[in-house]
Amino acid sequence: MDKIYIIDAVNYLFRSYYAIRSMTNAKGESVNALYGFIRSVQKVIKTFQPTHLVCVFDGPDNKKSRKALFADYKMHRKGAPEDLFPQFDWAGTFCELTGISVLCVDGVEADDTMASIALWAKKQGAKAYLCSSDKDLAQLVDEDIFVLHPHKDHQLVNADNVKQLYNVRPDQMLDYLAIMGDASDNIPGLEGFGPKTAAALLEEFGTLDNILAHPEKVKGEKKQEILRTQKERALLSRDLARLDTAVEIPKEVFFYKIKEGDPKNLRTFYHEMHFSSLLREMGEAPSSEGKKKVRNTDKHEYHLIEDAAALDKLLKRLAQAKEVGVDVETTSEKPMLAELVGIGFCLEPGEAWYVPWQGQKELLHFFATAQCGFFGHNLKYDLHVLHNHGMPLHKIGFDTILASYLLQPQNRRHNLDDLALEKFRRVKIPLESLIGKGKSQITMREVPVEKVKEYCCEDIDYTARLKEFFEEELETRKLEKVFHEIELPLLPILAKMEQEGIYLDAEKLADIGAEQLRALQKLETKIFAEVGEEFNLNSPKQLSEVLFQKLGMKKPSRAKTEYATGAEVLEELAEEYPIAGLILEYRTLEKLRTTYIEALPTSIHPKTGRIHCTFNQSVAATGRLSCQDPNLQNIPVRAPEGIAIRSCFRPQKKGWSFVGADYSQIELRLLAHFSEDEELLRAFNEGEDVHAYTASLVFNLPITMVTPEMRNQAKTVNFGILYGQGPFGLAKQLGISMQEAASFIKTYFERYPKVSRYLEACKEEARRTGLATTLTGRQRPIPEIGNQNPQIRAAAERLAINTPLQGTAADLIKQAMIAIDREMAAKGWKGKMILQIHDELIFEVPDEEALLISKFVKKAMENVFPLRVPIEVHIAIGKNWAEC
């Protein structure tokens, strides 16, 4: 044994717990600390390639020896969070499964055990590396013992580094700790003696004993008095900080050797913890370990279609099938720019064909005449590419990404590689292994055809396997209706909207950009004049130095880091310091300029002259659509600058207009429907202004006496209730005290008692079933509702409240889109649906169709399904998006 690496497991786990937030497994249990611990241990192994390594934990009742010296030792330290305790055990399991030895000595703290191992290893002639951020361990550092800082990229701390970090030698560290104390361990130290004083005194006197022996030589009468009166306290602190190096530990070198692990059970462990990235790194595993035995994943036949005869034979077979799986290989991940390289086909799991694209007329004919339903994974992409190459998909039969999303909407990962890994424990061929990444990346067209064949056939093969798996799951979970009547019919509609795109007046946007740049320059000049110097406004560090050092502003309590200058911090500062408000204004304009004014023109398609964004059906857990490349859903609707940007979106043809159709207060109406609260129902059924009506109830005034401020407060509460907002959030939003906010919410629920009961029922239902459900039957699993971490649990309760409302609203507009698209196609109107912005639809229509389509759309959206209150849709017609 030449070297040994000694890991402070508890230190790693605590640091990971607070560095990685809200990471849970399928059961809703926190696994953030465990994941960080595993990654940290793996990094040590990868970086240093150790042959001998041990993970050390605190033993049970580990404070007893030091508490015998000082009863208050670590008394003020809070215990570990409830959801961290199980992760200690799982960390031990990981070590066991990877062949790493674990030490946990009863009654002993981890750093004492680590110290004892290090000194024993030194006697064996080995170098010892203590992997921890605990400064106490620096007292051991010498020519054979070192500290590795895990959070500083495993910075090696030797004797010279100790001097640089703490301004004392390693042999002075114990005295240094004794003088200044340690607040985290409740070691008292000398009153008023900080690290600088401790280091300076040890530089002058050498040791604590010398300092205590000659207090009269220390500068300052107050310090001299403390040294005289607190001598015993200093000596006690030294005893508390001294590491116990006589702990009984295993003294056989073999104990510390990394042994052969148990990869099979480690894979099972990773599956239970939902660690997909770790599973991928382990490589392929047998399918028999999976959750369901669909088919043997190792047996397959993948065919390359190289000649006309083979293609003719394949197409004849495909033409007789009811369902055909399809997967395209292209030159770009952006469907509207992608060039077709080849097409994969599959009829059932285990066999697939790859056809390199060479413009074959036989393929054009097959897609034009096919009567089958097509299935795939993220089929909208394939639909776009095939459509752009003259091969439309007339009938969509199944999409495994949508099925995965419906079954597990709380998951962010629905890509094919992750699903193959999760369901079949199959590590698929990574795309990067074919095309590379970064500057050296090539396109699929440049990859040898045999490799493309294997990759594409594997994709469509595993899509077919997933289809079998998900069909059964959808039936078991009673989600077939949502899948087949909402999500699947919506897919081709979204594809049509993306194909159509929207026109952007780039010249007008450039003019607005120039105007905003002038406004930014004026703001910048004003801010610099206030400060008295120029600096980089976009640098949080420089801004922090200007605000908190040069201008002497008091840091808000919410500022978590030294350089915290986020929006919340600046908003709080703006109440007292006007310059903070100017900086906020600058940031808002700068973000609009970079995010939209500069970026939007780069998204204009070179051939169509329009922007073709992508609508995602499998991202937002509530069922809402999201938008990307670019995201047009986030352009501010109320800010003047946002309205100016929206005005640049207009019909491309003269004599055309935009029609905007927007659901009015749909989630509040759904709240009235679900809760059946008489007062809330009355407000909507009698056509009252619901916010003014709420204010009249809460303030106990006639509605005619409600002031705009009262209405605004009631509006904030009405919408806050939808997201489970409590007194803290309301107080912050309205700028009132917590007590006032709590009183407001209390009165609100007294006036709307059934709303309160409904919200509690949502949480209770989620606790009972683990699900939140919409009116259409869409489900959102919320396993975190039982998490032991109160913050995670509270967030889950908010999801339980909001999901039935936002999810039902999402389903409502999706069903409206399906009905509208069907009717517009049947009537042969020229107008097109081009955008969906959550509760709003935008249409591009000829002027002669504008009124007709407006009336039809309003009626269709208001009559998707009946509620206990009327659904209202506001219609606007304009020559650009802003006018809508």
Question: What is the DSSP secondary-structure string of 170-230?
Answer: GGGHHHHHHHH-BTTTTB--STT--HHHHHHHHHHHSSHHHHHH-GGGSSSHHHHHHHHHT
State the DSSP H helix or E strand holding residue 361, giving kind and residue range, or none if neither: helix 361-369
- Cis, bond preceding 578 (omega within 30 deg of 0): no
| Backbone dihedral angles phi then psi of residue 399, each to the nearest 5 degrees | -135, 115
Specify the pLDDT at position 182. 75
| Backbone dihedral angles phi then psi of residue 375, each to the nearest 5 degrees | -125, 155
838: left (phi over 0), alpha (psi -120 to 50) or beta: left
Specify the pLDDT at position 672. 97
Which of 32-41, 513-522, 733-742 is least confident? 733-742
Specify the pLDDT at position 195. 82
Q: Number of C-alpha atoms within 13 angstroms, CB side, residue 698?
A: 29
Q: Which two tokens stand for residue 213?
A: 């022996």
Which of 32-46, 49-63, 304-318, 758-772 is least confident? 49-63
Q: For residues 445 and 544, what is the distance between their CA atoms, to the nearest angstrom?
A: 50
Among 10, 4, 39, CA closest to 112: 10
pLDDT digits (tens, 9 = 90+) for 363-416: 999 999 999 999 999 999 999 999 999 999 999 999 999 999 999 999 888 999
Q: Are 93 and 269 in contact (CB under 8 A)?
A: yes
pLDDT greater than 70 at residue 561: no
Specify the pLDDT at position 291. 43
pLDDT digits (tens, 9 = 90+) for 578-591: 888 899 999 999 99
Q: Are 69 and 238 in contact (CB under 8 A)?
A: no
Q: Which two tokens stand for residue 188?
A: 């008292």
Specify the pLDDT at position 725. 85
Q: Which two tokens stand for residue 181?
A: 């104390």
pLDDT greater than 90 at residue 496: yes
Q: Which two tokens stand for residue 292?
A: 């369901």
- Count Cβ atoms below 10 Å from residue 542 Cβ, excluding itself: 14
3-state secondary structure of 148: strand
pLDDT greater than 60 at residue 433: yes
Among 315, 457, 464, CA closest to 375: 464
> Residue range 760-770: average pLDDT?
96
pLDDT greater than 90 at residue 100: yes
Confidence of residue 251 (pLDDT cuts 50, 70, 90): very high
| Backbone dihedral angles phi then psi of residue 242, each to the nearest 5 degrees | -70, 130
Specify the pLDDT at position 63. 54
Distances (CA, A) of 219 to 181, 214, 627: 20, 11, 67
Q: For residues 31 and 20, what is the distance between their CA atoms, to the nearest angstrom?
A: 9
Distances (CA, A) of 195 to 199, 200, 570: 6, 8, 32
Task: Please provide the size of the chain in residues.
Answer: 884
Of 571 and 307, the one with more pLDDT: 307
Q: For residues 370 and 315, what is the distance between their CA atoms, to the nearest angstrom?
A: 10
Domains and CATH numbers, the chain: 3-256 (3.40.50.1010), 292-474 (3.30.420.10), 505-603 (1.20.1060.10), 666-808 (1.10.150.20)
Instruction: Fill in the DSSP letter of residue 789.
Output: S
Q: What is the pTM of this model?
A: 0.85
State the DSSP H helix or E strand holding residue 524, giving kind and residue range, or none if neither: helix 506-531
pLDDT greater than 60 at residue 559: no
Distances (CA, A) of 177 to 64, 136, 223, 459, 579: 20, 8, 17, 60, 43
Distances (CA, A) of 657 to 260, 447, 653: 70, 46, 9
Instruction: Fill in the DSSP letter of residue 788.
Output: S
Which of 42-56, 236-250, 792-806 is least confident? 236-250
pLDDT greater than 60 at residue 746: yes
Q: Are 674 and 625 in contact (CB under 8 A)?
A: no
Question: Residue ranges of the alpha helices (H) in 781-827?
Answer: 790-827
Which of 415-429, 461-475, 579-593, 723-737 is least confident? 723-737
Q: Are 861 and 661 in contact (CB under 8 A)?
A: yes
Sign of CA dihedral 196, 199, 203, 207: positive
